[in-house]
Structure 1
Amino acid sequence: MEFRLLYEGPLHGQGAKAPHKWEIRRALHPQLQQLWRAPPLKDVADTLLAFPARAGQASVVMEKDGLRFAPLVTRTLDLYAEISVLLFRQQPRGTLITDGGDIDNRLKTLLDGLRIPRGANEGRQERPDVPDPAPFFCLLEDDSLVTKVTVESEQLLRPAQPDEVLAVISVHVKKTRLTPQNMAI
């Protein structure tokens, strides 16, 4: 299964705080929710999004401190992901490490924003202005399920803040083994 996600907004590098990663999750949630509404996920959503899991069935929904998350790429489904990021940013080509480039740390922040939090409240506002969705759709159960990452950097040719990016995230979901639960994915 292959698809693309878009993220537009700040992407902090070194020292990015957990609330920033939560903002990335919130920005990507609607796209992942829509992905679950379209085939092939639509065909298995009733089963895989059941909470609690139905008898004899797998569910991807995980509860952490009262919040429910629904990652697509999970160990339960024997899935992993290869990710390619096209990152449009203010800095010109060739400034990967200096002058606000910091691609490696920005990439780590983005990957952290693609996974479910390690604790339900990791970086979450005490009382969010907007209620958290249930379930909260994320790409990854854990960033260790990413086996390949590529990054291409381009200059963003419009006015923006220094840390603002447009990221086109191409995702290729693969199976470690074929099972009845992941056959449709």
Structure 2
Amino acid sequence: MQHVKESIEKELHKKPPDSIRGFQPVALIRESDMHIVHLEVLLLVPEEPGTMLSQVGDLDNRLKTLLDALRIPKEQEIPENDYPQEVEKPYFYCLLEDDALITSLSVFADRDLREQTDKDKSHTLAIIRIHLEKSITTLRTMTWTC
């Protein structure tokens, strides 16, 4: 991951990210780096197996919310009265520049066996494994060994 961080820092010095209502989002995985992403998602939910689709929010809505949260937000998705906090300055990091970089998605749902309070009944724990792959082999993306 160190090479990703170094690459991002070089890019930020060349061209700072566009500001969205005072926020300066930085994607860790960008189209310009010629990568595609495969995600494996484990959703741990408080419901019994087999009832997930009928209880608090169905699977496709949970996935859409999750995938949207991994990418740089669109301006209309940021609440009007929301401003960057100190921990978000100068940048805040997102996994993806665009969720279109996700080329495959595997989803598994299982019961969350941790002790639940009434407040936790609508919460879902997502464990995400990210597989990063070069989409095009060029001189820039090739691995060189000497």
* TM-score (normalizing by structure 1): 0.64
Provide closer, same or farther for how the CA distance between residues 94 and 128 of structure 1 changes in structure 2, counting only shifts above 3 A.
same
Q: Is the 8 A contact 2:70 2:94 kept in 1?
A: yes
Map 1:1-185 to 2 at 5 A.
38-52=1-15, 62-65=17-20, 66-100=22-56, 102-119=58-75, 122-124=77-79, 126-128=81-83, 130-131=85-86, 132-157=88-113, 158-160=115-117, 161-179=120-138, 181-183=140-142
Identity %: 31
Q: Which amino acid aligns with 2:4?
A: L
RMSD of aligned alpha carbons: 2.4
Where structure 2 has 5 or more consecutive residues not aligned to the other structure, the ranges are none
Larger radius of gyration: 2
> Deviation string for 1:8-28 (max 9, x for gaps)?
xxxxxxxxxxxxxxxxxxxxx
SS state at 2:10 partner: helix
More helix by share: 2
Where structure 1 has 5 or more consecutive residues not aligned to the other structure, the ranges are 1-37, 53-60
Number of equivalenced pairs: 138
Q: Is the 8 A contact 1:73 1:141 kept in 2?
A: yes
Provide closer, same or farther for how the CA distance between residues 183 and 125 of structure 1 changes in structure 2, counting only shifts above 3 A.
farther
Q: Is the 8 A contact 1:95 1:101 kept in 2?
A: no
